[in-house]
Structure 1
Amino acid sequence: MYGVSVTRKYKVLFLCRENSARSIIAEALLRELAGHRFDAFSAGPEPAARVHPFAVAQLRPGISDLGVLSPKSWLEFTGEWAPRMDLVIALDESVDARHAPAFPGEPPSCVWSFADPLAGHMAEPERARLFDKVFWQIVRQVSAFIELPQYATPASTTASAAVVSAAIASPHRATTCDA
């Protein structure tokens, strides 16, 4: 007998202070590379007015829907109505679990630390090079994350927390998350 497999996607929230560059890039890449298995979101405590133009420039060549990207407050993900995340990934330590608000369901969290391409004073060509470097670091991290065997099969509602926890606890990667 043929049937339709009913599965749900893993929900991943990327956090960054202004939610205008690193977290937006991570959200867009996860959605583009594995949107059939993941729902990706991004937010921050001090959202910028718009996505940074250098982030848009990095994403434009390969991301099909840039229109859905916008800086958001992480408070949009804290209420009863908010989607329940399976994993929260901070892209710098200033927004890690010690600093972030409580999210519904208390999802596991981890840190993927990348340099802030918006920090400090630098000339535009230097900033563009830093954006390029950080972009490719995030590409590698997201690619490794979606290739983890734990995410090869869709999550069941009862097993997803255990699978995500196992992914975080694995010690063979340099980051606090297993990717």
Structure 2
Amino acid sequence: MTSKYKVLFLCRENSARSIIAEALLRELAGHRFEVFSAGSDPAARVHALALAQLRPGISDLGLLAPKSWLEFTGEWAPHMDLIVALDARVAEYHAPDFPGKPLFVQWDFADPLAEGMTPDERGRSFEKVFWQIVRRVTLFMELPRYTTPAVSHATTAEPATRERDIVCPG
């Protein structure tokens, strides 16, 4: 039995980087990936500058909303194949245990919401991070490991591990 790969993007507030990554992977390869995003301390809403970057090319912005990563930790939660931390503050050693022991990786991008930026600097930061995430998501979805359908966890002979491999080049 085959299925889509389940990917969870994590950021602290789940209002910018993880939302952008979720939207892009769903839009570009939703036929192969079931995509989610969450945060340790989710914001009340998606940041307006993240939506501004996504608006021209994402067909369903209504699916995007900040969520707590706790929504993905219970027995009822979908078992992820891959967790991608986009913020060092939610790296593997900070994150809770997720069902199924998914592969956990970190992609490092500057925080477009960092303190001390002028409005123009923040806008440029969002644009730069957006294009960096576009590049990384595009490279990721073309990796041979993810170009074929996932094998159902129920039929997999070997349990998933938290192996440390390069899931996507920097």
Q: The TM-score by the shorter chain falls in which range?
A: over 0.9
Structure 2 letter corresponding to 1:94: R
C-alpha displacement at 1:159, in angstroms?
7.4
CA RMSD of aligned residues (A): 1.8
Q: TM-score, normalised by structure 2?
A: 0.92
Q: 1:131 aligns with which of 113, 120, 126?
A: 126
C-alpha displacement at 1:7, in angstroms?
2.2
Q: Is residue 13 of structure 1 aligned with residue 8 of structure 2?
A: yes
Deviations 1:80-115 (A, max 9, x none): 110000000000211011000010111110100100
Q: 2:83 aligns with which of 88, 91, 99?
A: 88
Deviations 1:96-144 (A, max 9, x none): 1100001011111010010000011222111000000000000000000
Instruction: Detail structure 1 runs of 4+ shifted over 3 Å in the superposition.
Output: 159-165
Given that 1:86 and 1:164 are in contact with CA atoms closer than 8 Å, whether structure 2 keeps it comes out as no
Check 1:123–1:106 CA distance in 2 against 1; reply closer, same or farther (3 A cut): same
Structure 1 letter corresponding to 2:95: A
Aligned residue pairs total: 166
Given that 1:49 and 1:71 are in contact with CA atoms closer than 8 Å, whether structure 2 keeps it comes out as yes
Check 1:106–1:135 CA distance in 2 against 1; reply closer, same or farther (3 A cut): same
Structure 1 letter corresponding to 2:18: S
Check 1:65–1:142 CA distance in 2 against 1; reply closer, same or farther (3 A cut): same
Give secondary structure in 1 for the equivalent of 2:2: coil
Structure 2 letter corresponding to 1:107: P
The residue that corresponds to 2:33 in the other structure is 38
Deviations 1:32-72 (A, max 9, x none): 00000000100001000000000000000000000010000
Larger relative contact order (C-alpha < 8 A, sep ≥ 6)? 2
Structure 2 letter corresponding to 1:65: D
Q: Distance in 1 between matches of 2:44 and 2:8?
A: 19
Matches within 5 A, 1:149-160: 149-157=144-152, 158=156
The residue that corresponds to 1:178 in the other structure is 168
The residue that corresponds to 2:140 in the other structure is 145
Q: Is residue 110 of structure 1 aligned with residue 100 of structure 2?
A: no
Q: Is residue 169 of structure 1 aligned with residue 168 of structure 2?
A: no
Q: TM-score, normalised by structure 1?
A: 0.88
Q: 1:66 aligns with which of 47, 61, 69?
A: 61
- Give 5+ residue unaligned stretches, structure 1: 1-5, 171-176
Percent identity over the alignment is: 68
